[in-house]
Structure formats: C-alpha cells, structure tokens
Structure 1
Amino acid sequence: MLRINKILLRGNGVKDAFVDFDSGANILAGESDTGKSFLIRCLDYILGAEQLKKPLKVAAAYTHLFVEFENSNNEVLTLERALDGGKLLAHYVPTRDIRDKGEIIAPVRKGKSKGPDVTSIFFPFAGIKEAKLRKNVLGETQRLSVRTLSPLFLVDEVSIIDEHSPITGRPSFDDTARKRTFSYLLTGKDDDGIVAAEKGEIVKAKLQAKLEVVQELIRPLEERFGAGPNSVPIALGSDDDLDDVIAKLTEEVEAATTAISRLHEETQVTTALALRAESQLLGVAEIQSRYSLLDERYHSDLKRLDFLAEGSHYFESLQEVPCPLCGQQLTLPHHHGERTQTLMSSDEIRRSAIAEAAKIHAYLVDLQKAMVSVDHRKSELEKEKNVAQAALKNLQENLTRNLTPLLASTAEHLEELFERRAERDAEQTDLQRWIELHKRQKDIQKSLVDSNQPKPEWGGLSSQSLSSLCTEIEAVLTEWKWGSAPRVTFDEKEYDIVVDGQPRQSHGKGVRAILYSAFIIGLLRYCVNNGLPHPGLVVIDSPLTSYKKKDAATVSGLNEPVSEGVEAGFWHSLTLLPKHLQIIVIENKEPPASVAKEVHYEWFAGDYAGAEERAALIPVPSGLSAIS
C-alpha cells in the first residue's frame, strides 16, 4: 500500500504550488474555482493519462508536475512529468532531494513494448502484483494497468454524481477489463491461464473480406467463361496437335543446330589445314630463296677458280711479279720453305683449282636435287591449300544457302507456335483458376454460415466476496448514520450497489454521490482488511456537494441533497480512519471544527482570503482573482 505525500507544480520564475498530505484522513476544502479539483486531474495525468485535462489558466507559467508517494515500507517514489505531455521521470527520493534526472518511463506501454511504464513502477511500489485480466467475452487477456484500476481509487466531481456504474463508468470498449479488475480486487485471482475463444466477429469480417476478394477476382473471368463453373468453353488439355508440331519443329531446329555445329567444326579443321599449308609455303619460299643464293655463290666460286687457273699461266710472263707471301719480286732469289716453289708453281695452282671446282660441281648437283625436291613440295602444298580453300568455300555456301535459312525459318515458325501455346496455356490456367475461385467462394460462404458459434460463457463474480464487500459498505453507511440497519446488495447486471432495495443510480445526484463514496471507501476497507490488491488510498472529489455548475446539464438526474445526519456521520467517520489507510476528500463545504482538528485539513479561502489564509492552489499576487 501507499499514500500521497505531496502534489507539486513547478515552473521558471514562479513559486512552487503544492499541497501536502498525511496518512489517514485528509480534507481539502475551499471556495469554488480555487484549484481543488485540478489536483484530481493532476493525479490522473501523473498516472498515465494522455494529456492534462482542463489546465488552469493561472498555471500557465508552470511546466512540471511532481507527485510524491510513500509506501508501507517507508520508501519514497516521486513521479515527474512535463505538463505539456511526454514521458515521465521516476525518482526514488522525496521532491526536495531530487538532484538527478531520474529513470525515464512511459505513461503506458503501447503495442508489444516491454519497457518500463507507470504501471510497472507504481504497482510494485504499492505491493500490487502483475496480473492478466480478460478484456473481452472471447477470453483474450491483457495486462492490468493503473489506467484500468485508477477509477476505483480516484473519483472526480463528475463521475461521483453520474448515473453510470462506479466500476465501468460510461460504456466503452474496456467494460470487460474494468469488470475483471473489480473481480481481481474482490478475490485476488486474475485470468492468467484461461484459453481464449476465437473471435466470431473478426472471423466473419475476415471471411467476408476474403469473399469480396474472391468475387472481385471472379468477375472479369465470368465474361470469358460463362455464368457458372459448369460452362466450360474449352477442354483442358486440348490442342495436342500443336504440341506435336512444336516437338517436331524442335527436333528440326536441334538437327539444324547440330548440322551447323558440325559444319563449324569442319570449317575449323579445314581452316587449320589451309593455314598450315600457307605457313609451310612461306617456309618453302624461304628455303628456295636461300637455295638460289647458294647456287649463285657456287657459280661465283667456279668463276673465281677458272680465273685462278687461267691467271697462273700468265704469272711467268710478267717481268715483275710480287711474291704472294712476302711481296718481293719473284725474279729475285729468295726462299720461303721447301714447298714454296711447289705451291707457287702454275701447274700446282691449276690442279688445285680444278680439284676445288670438282667439289663445287658436286655441291651444285646436290643443290639442284634439293631445289627440285623443294619445288615438288611447294606444288604439293599449293595443291593442299587450294583444296582446303575450296572446301571452306563449299562449307560456307552450305551454311549460308541451306542450314542458316532453314534454322531461321524453323525457329520463327516455332516461336509463333510457342506464342500460340502460351496463349492456350494462359487460357487453360485462367479457366482452372476460375473453377477454383468458384469452389473457394462456396467454401467461404459455407464457413460464413458455420461461423455463427455461440459465445463462451464465463462465471460471474464471487458471491461470497460480494457478500463480504456489501457487509463492509453497510458498515460504512452505518458509520455515516444512513439508517439503523442499511441493507446493501450488488446488482451484477448494472455493476452497481442497491441500498435498501433501491438502486444507487435511481437516486438524485446528492445521494448518488454519497453512495458512490460509500462503495469506494467500502472497497478500500474490504481489500485492505482481507489482504487483497489495492493501492491503499482513495481520493474523492465533492462527495457531499452536488455538482451545480453550468455544464452539469450533461449529468442526468434530479438534485437530491444529502441529509444533515449523513453529512455529519461522514465527517465524523474520517476521524476514525486508521493511519495505514489514506482518504483524501476534496469538498466545497467546511468540515466541523472538531473534525478539522482530528484530520489533516487545509482550506482554500478564495478571493476573500485573509492575511494568514491560503487563497488557492496557485499562489497569486494579492488583489487578483485566485483562479480564472
């Protein structure tokens, strides 16, 4: 359990606006328009409301809200939030000791988020365990949040006099969740582990959406294939001749392709032969060139030898002939060796020249034979080259005139047949799809008929727990001098109490408010006395004063003021409240002086506040209206 220590507004350049509270009973009374009800809206906002409702004009300079809580272990939690929205900061120290930024938490978890939020911080601090509660009749569950629980301990001035249930409030999507929250407080048992039934409405919506999609897909096919699946314009698997022709032409294309490949291979081989012959012809030409040069060399040598043989005869007739060895005149006596005279003999020279010429003639004979052989090889190579070139020409003509046109023509025809077959296959596919869509449509329509399953039944509230709660509310009403022996029951249809046989909602606004307060305080006492989940505090706005402002037209029911005896009993009961509980009552009416002394009491005097009195929640300069 926990209690509220302080509610504080802070801004730049303005004094802090705050209200302190104590354990047990707290009464905050005062004139209208002094900011009392604004405190309820601040608590709702700090506990995760999306925005601060009806902000005060005089509080425009304030930017941040702080609410300080203290639990039964004397631990402190201060929640901070900017007044213009956004996330909160959690501080685990009193407001006066805040120095650090604090832990960032979200107002509520959205989607599949597992991050910290107000509920994950507030509930453990208050000693409330995490719970899973059913959120609809199908059995789907959701996490219990402080947003669902808060209406059972924060009661504003409009809800308290409304004709709706204090548990569910105005009808909304979360009625089941609020009812299950009430059941959880009564018994301490949540709905974790229940098996959810399938959502009939969602199933129907999905089936209907599927049916619309199927019908939309069928519509364009109806124009082609008729009004029903039995009207089949063509037979599936027809036009087999087309497949046969395609198969035959495919074989022809493959044969032509094979022939062309073979021609290409032959062309490559023949080209290689022609190139080899051409290369060898170049080699033969080079050999012939060298043989011609050698032949010229041999004939040149023969001429030189003839010249030497003929010239040696004339050496002796010359008068002055230099020695070929030393350059002296041969007519002069000189000696070079034993064979010198022999070597320089004209006969010897002639014989040597003739011998050398004979060798050269032998070489010429061999050379002539070699040249003849080369000429023969050249002729053979030229013949091979010509044959290869002729074969290449024939291969190219066969490829150009026969195979290539045949392949092109066959391929073109085959392409046309492929297109025809594709059109046929597409037609058959659409027909098959049309038949399947009709079958799918019938299946969905049958599923729609079969989806009208009865909703699952769930057990009601625990009769024993309700009886104990009603007994506690009777004790509260007895303390308030409602009557000698008030009789309280619970109407599970309206989710509201019935007092002395009359439903709470059938009373006037004043009585509705006091009975609403009795229910909220009775629930607090019942939960705490039985160790059941509850924050341990309630805040009630205007339990004794009927809501009479101009916008009260939105609240139905006649005004029925509370009797003086009940009012006096209400005030007196607050003095008996144990200190481990906290009740904060916000009222326009002043409590009796004897009560004010026994509880934590604060008075907002409004425009006519004295020098020692507090005018309103927001400090304002003297002479100005407290709340505008």
Structure 2
Amino acid sequence: MERLTLLHLTFIGPTVSPATVEFGPKLTLVRGPSDTGKSYIADTIDFMLGSKTLEDIPERDGYDTVLLGLRLPDGEPVTLARSTQGGGFRLFRGDHRAYPLPVDSTSKSAKHSPKNTTNLSHYLLDKIGLGRKVIRKNGRGQTISLSLRALAPLFLVGETKIQAKTPPAVTGQHTQRTGEISTFRLLLQGEDDSAVEPGESETERHTSEAAKNDVIDTLLTELYEQLQTDETLQQVNERLQRLQATITESTGGIEETAAARQQWGKALSNSERLAAAARRSLTELDTLDARFKLLHEQYTSDLDRLEAVAEAGTLLGYFTPGRCVFCGAEPEHQHLNEDCADDTTALGESVREEQRKTTALRDDLLQAIAGLRAERDEKAQRLQGYTDDAAQARTTIARLDDILNPQERELNDLLTLSSQLERDAESIRHIQRLEALRPDIEAGPKPEVMAPTAGLQRSAVDDLSRMIAVRLRAWGFHDGDSTSYSFDDQDLVSGNQPRSAHGKGVRAILHAAFTISLAQYCFDRDLPHPGFVVLDSPLVVYRPPDPNDEPDNSDDVLDTANLADRFFADVQTNFSGQIIILENEDPPNALEPETRDISFTKNADHGRYGLFPHNQANDTGGGNTTGGDGR
C-alpha cells in the first residue's frame, strides 16, 4: 500500500548551522532528559503537516524556516519548507537540508479546501490513497472533505493527548465527534461516506432544533476557524496574564525613557530659542558697531581737515595780529567788519573751537564703541553656552531614542500578541457558551439522526480490539488480557475500567497500543494509512528526578523497566511501518542495529545537547525549553 516515510526534520536560518533530526526507516528513538526539545519535534512535525502555529522558544532564535524531508510512495524524496511563523508551504523535489534552497518549488496552501487542490492536505492525502475522500460531519448525514488535520490525531500523538482522558480516536469536542469517528472508520474499513445521503427532508431540516443546531454548528465552525491556538481557555488566560505583566513592565520603562526625552526636548527648545535671540542681538550689535566705526572715521576725517586748516592759517599768518593779510592795513587803521570783510583772528578761534567739539564727540564715540564691544563679547559667550547646551541635549535625545525605539517596537509586538490572545479567549468563551446551549436544544423533540458510529462494523472493531490486547500482552502489560476496545464508548477498557479511570501512565500505554495497532491493522489489510506513527512519551510521564518522590496515583507508574524492554522489542520486530518514539528514559536493553537511536544529553560537553545546539547565552538551566513536563 502507498505510504509516506519521514526522512528528516531540519531547522535552518541564514546565520546559524542547520539543526537536524534524521529519522530511520523503521524505529527512531529520541531520548534524553526533560527540556531538551523532544516534544518540540512532535510539535514541529504536526506544524509541518498543517497545524496553524509553532511555539516560539528562545533556542529557535536565528532559525526562520523548517524543512521536513519525505519519501513518497513511489520512492521520490521531496522536501517541505515552511516559515517558522506559519503560512503556506513550498514543495521542493529532492532532499534538502540547508540553505540555499532551489529556486524551483511548488506552493502549497496550509488550509485544506475541497475545491482547490493546491494545498498540502490534498497533496499528501492523494499520495496515500485518501485523496477526495469525504466523511460525515453530523448526524444529519452531511459530509465534508477529509483533511490531513482530521487524520493527524490517529498517527501523531503528542504528550498531552497521549495522557488525556478523552478516547484516542476523538478529541472530546461534541461538534467534531461524528467526523472523528467517521475518520477512524475510514482507516479501519477503507470506506468513506461518499454514499451517504442526508436523511432529513427540507421540512425536517427547518425544524426548530435543527435550525438552532445549524446556527450553532455554523457559529462554532467560524469560531474554530478564527482560533489561532489549540490551548484551553485557562492556558490562554494564563498566557495573557503573563503577557500583560510584561506589557506593564515594558510600558513603565518606555514612559520613564519618554519622560526623560521630553525634558531634554524642552531643554533643547529653550537653548535653541535663547541661542537664536543671542544671534539676533549680536547681529544688531555688529550693525551698530559698523555704523559707529563709520562715524568715528568721519570725526577723524573732520579733525584732519580742521588740522589742515589750522596749519595753513598759521603758516600764512592768517591767525596772527598785525597787518591785514587781505587788505594790508595796519592794526590801527583796521576797521573790523567795515573796511575788511574777514577777521582772521576770529576765524582761527572758530577752527580751534570746532576741533574741541569734534574731539569731544569722537572721545564720547570711542567710549560708546568700547561699551558696545564689551556687550558683544558677553553676548557671544552666552551664545556659546546656549550652543553647547543644545548640542548636549541633541546627544542625550539621540541616546534616548536609541533606547526608546526598540522598546516601542517590542511593545507593539506584545500588544499585537495580546490582542490576538484576547480574541482567542473571547472565541473560546463563545464556543463554551454555544456548547452550553445544546442541552436545552436537545431537551426538546428530536428528529431521527444517524449515530456517530453509523456504518462502523463491529467485526472490524473486534479485530482491532484483539490486536490491541495481543500487543499489550507482548509488552507485559498487567491487564493486557482484560483490555478491549468498546464499540459503544469508542474507548479502551482495561481491568474492567474505562481508560479515563486510570492514571495518566496507564492512559499513555493504552493510547500507544491503540495507535500502533491501528496502523498495523491497516498495513496487514493493505488499507490506506500515512505509513508512520509519532508517539510522545508513551511509556513514562515526566517525574521529578528525586527517586524518593512518591507519585500521587499508583496507576501512573508501571513496571516500566520490564515493560519498556518488551515494548521496544515488539515495535522493532512486529511493526511494519515507520515509528518515531520520543521518551525521557533510556531503553533497558540494546536496540536493533537498524534502529536509529538519538540521545539528547543536555550536557554541552558530551554528546548532542538537544534539538538545537547549546547556546550559553540562552542557557538559564532550562536547556531547550519547550513547555510541558516531559519535553
């Protein structure tokens, strides 16, 4: 039958070395201490098969792309590439594990669509013989196109799901139960629901209960599509509280820096204003100084002319008493202002008087110039001080901007994430309120509907149940002989108790047996199946390292040493497909040579540290932290 094979999972980035986990064709065991990135492998495989988001962790810094190498049923290797931020996929022919990636690629949408075949879900389902299959989505017989996301929980089981109390084949969501059982039926019997016709007439479809359920189903579908997380409301609220605390802290730092910048901005504005006023005053003083200089030159020129007049008059005797230089009259015969029009002695006195006045004016002017220039020097010193203050303010503002800009960008990112989490929380609350309406609706008269298990053959369920019991016995599970799969409850029963009544250790073992047995059931009967199984922590849930700690529930702990030994022996010899196990504990005995054994040591000086290379800058004692206890 057509199967896929996982070749490798690789993180790449432009400035970091690739972080690669290579998978073997049969069993791949990734083991090591908690918080080394084991569960992140399962999460990333799920992300590369269409999950919406991948958790961002510090160790992933520098890696911007995830590569998933696949071998198609025809033997051709291909590589899926997706941004770590999500979005669509690029499909490359060949096996690629580093930059640069080839130029030629095919785009594949992450969202399944029955009308548009250019999506990853349709591409991979078509490769394993499940393309264009349909499943029932509700009791009225309405069908939807099978998606890879609907199929994934049956072959890829994370740490939370493997320990959960919900049955292995379902999630516990009421609106999804029919579709989940129909998907299980498709694998178990190789039959889809394309032959199913809606059993209700148009009149019955418009009855009050059906109409209300239609509205609720539609609203729930829209709400689920809007959700950007698979977390519970409590988990979202806890994340939101932590994020809001971070936002408050970040806002306080920004406000403090912004207040300091505002003060320095005011100081800069004041310094620039004072400097501008000082420059204007200096310009006015320079203009006045230039005018005074011209006036001084004029006074000096006047004095030079008066001096020349005085010297000429003296040389010619104009200003000495005696014979008149103009008419030749002797002093006794001179009749001032009558016979002679000019009095040379009076003229000389006038010249000397004018010299005294002009000299006095020039002296006054020199004093004014000296005062003016003293005032200019003082204002020039003030201007220099204002200029220095402005320069210091600009330097300080630039430094504060260098601090403030990254803080504001980080705050914007935090606010964006907070808004998304608030929307997710509101969507989950809407979902819970809508789910709470169903009991009131179901209390009224109900039209006949198809049971979720309609079409599921009891004989097929019984065959799978026997395979599960045989496998549990092979593992040495103490209640293997009394374990079966309940057709009515669609859950495992062990030791006369439903799986949900056992502790999480037993629940994990039973879920692992179901998933592995379902895959082998398909292989044995040549039925469609992806061809591989991924199990996170099937044997031992994470516990504190102190061996004296006692577990809260005795059912949580099995004889894990013996069970693990037989478990690995069984999956290496009695499983026909590819299986990837992520575990905290080392296997008790040596593994087969063809098994790929990957050990994460969480020791920077010994072996492989974890999924990502050891980074001392990010190492705070938690290693490759990815959340959850068993990671």
TM range (shorter): 0.5 to 0.7
Instruction: Tell me, yes or no, if structure 1 residue 63 matches structure 2 residue 60.
Output: no
Q: Which residue of 1 aligns with 2:163?
A: 161
Contact 1:21–1:600 under 8 Å retained in 2: yes
Q: Which residue of 2 aligns with 1:567?
A: 564
Q: 1:454 aligns with which of 442, 447, 458?
A: 447
Q: Which residue of 1 aligns with 2:512?
A: 517
How far has the Cα of 1:567 moved from its partner? 2.3
* Letter paired with 2:596: H
SS, match of residue 45 in structure 2: helix
Instruction: Tell me, yes or no, if structure 1 residue 24 matches structure 2 residue 19.
Output: no
SS, match of residue 116 in structure 2: coil
Instruction: Tell me, yes or no, if structure 1 residue 185 matches structure 2 residue 194.
Output: no
Q: Which residue of 1 aligns with 2:473?
A: 478
Q: Which residue of 1 aligns with 2:16?
A: 14
SS, match of residue 158 in structure 1: helix
Contact 1:38–1:55 under 8 Å retained in 2: no
* Letter paired with 2:23: F
How far has the Cα of 1:565 moved from its partner? 2.6
Over the aligned positions, Cα root-mean-square deviation in angstroms equals 2.8
Q: 1:491 aligns with which of 486, 492, 497?
A: 486
Q: Which residue of 1 aligns with 2:44?
A: 42
For 1:206-217, list aligned pairs within 5 A. none
* Letter paired with 1:504: R
Structure 2: segments with no counterpart, 5+ residues: 214-440, 545-551, 626-631
SS, match of residue 95 in structure 1: coil
SS, match of residue 570 in structure 2: helix
SS, match of residue 17 in structure 2: coil
Q: Which residue of 2 aligns with 1:204?
A: 208
Q: Which residue of 2 aligns with 1:627?
A: 624
Count of residues paired in the alignment? 378
SS, match of residue 22 in structure 1: coil
Instruction: Tell me, yes or no, if structure 1 residue 102 matches structure 2 residue 108.
Output: no
How far has the Cα of 1:191 moved from its partner? 0.6
Q: Which residue of 1 aligns with 2:140?
A: 138
Q: 1:576 aligns with which of 570, 573, 598?
A: 573
How far has the Cα of 1:2 moved from its partner? 1.4
* Separation in 1, partners of 2:567, 2:91: 36
Q: 1:586 aligns with which of 573, 576, 582?
A: 582
* Letter paired with 2:112: R
* Separation in 2, partners of 1:568, 1:99: 44
| TM-score between the two structures when normalised by the length of structure 1 | 0.56
Contact 1:575–1:598 under 8 Å retained in 2: no
Q: Which residue of 2 aligns with 1:388?
A: none
Contact 2:159–2:537 under 8 Å retained in 1: yes
How far has the Cα of 1:543 moved from its partner? 0.6
Q: Which residue of 1 aligns with 2:240?
A: none
SS, match of residue 539 in structure 1: strand
For the pair shown, the structure with the greater C-alpha radius of gyration is 1
Residues 193 and 11 of structure 1, relative CA distance in 2, 3 Å threshold = same
Q: 1:466 aligns with which of 461, 466, 484?
A: 461
Q: Which residue of 2 aligns with 1:531?
A: 526
* Separation in 2, partners of 1:103, 1:88: 8
How far has the Cα of 1:484 moved from its partner? 8.9
* Separation in 1, partners of 2:211, 2:164: 41
Residues 479 and 183 of structure 1, relative CA distance in 2, 3 Å threshold = same
SS, match of residue 24 in structure 2: coil
* Letter paired with 1:70: R
How far has the Cα of 1:594 moved from its partner? 1.2
* Letter paired with 1:575: Q
SS, match of residue 484 in structure 2: strand
How far has the Cα of 1:452 moved from its partner? 5.1
* Separation in 2, partners of 1:84, 1:16: 17
Contact 2:59–2:615 under 8 Å retained in 1: no
* Separation in 1, partners of 2:505, 2:210: 49
* Letter paired with 1:22: G
Contact 1:470–1:489 under 8 Å retained in 2: yes
* Separation in 2, partners of 1:188, 1:17: 38
How far has the Cα of 1:598 moved from its partner? 5.2
Contact 2:480–2:494 under 8 Å retained in 1: no
| TM-score between the two structures when normalised by the length of structure 2 | 0.56
Residues 159 and 548 of structure 1, relative CA distance in 2, 3 Å threshold = farther
* Letter paired with 2:564: E
SS, match of residue 178 in structure 2: helix
Residues 109 and 71 of structure 1, relative CA distance in 2, 3 Å threshold = closer
* Separation in 1, partners of 2:539, 2:35: 17
Q: Which residue of 2 aligns with 1:83?
A: 84
How far has the Cα of 1:575 moved from its partner? 2.7
Contact 2:564–2:588 under 8 Å retained in 1: no
Seq. identity, %: 28
How far has the Cα of 1:8 moved from its partner? 0.5
* Separation in 1, partners of 2:558, 2:592: 20
Residues 545 and 484 of structure 1, relative CA distance in 2, 3 Å threshold = closer
How far has the Cα of 1:561 moved from its partner? 0.8
Residues 190 and 207 of structure 1, relative CA distance in 2, 3 Å threshold = closer
How far has the Cα of 1:193 moved from its partner? 2.2
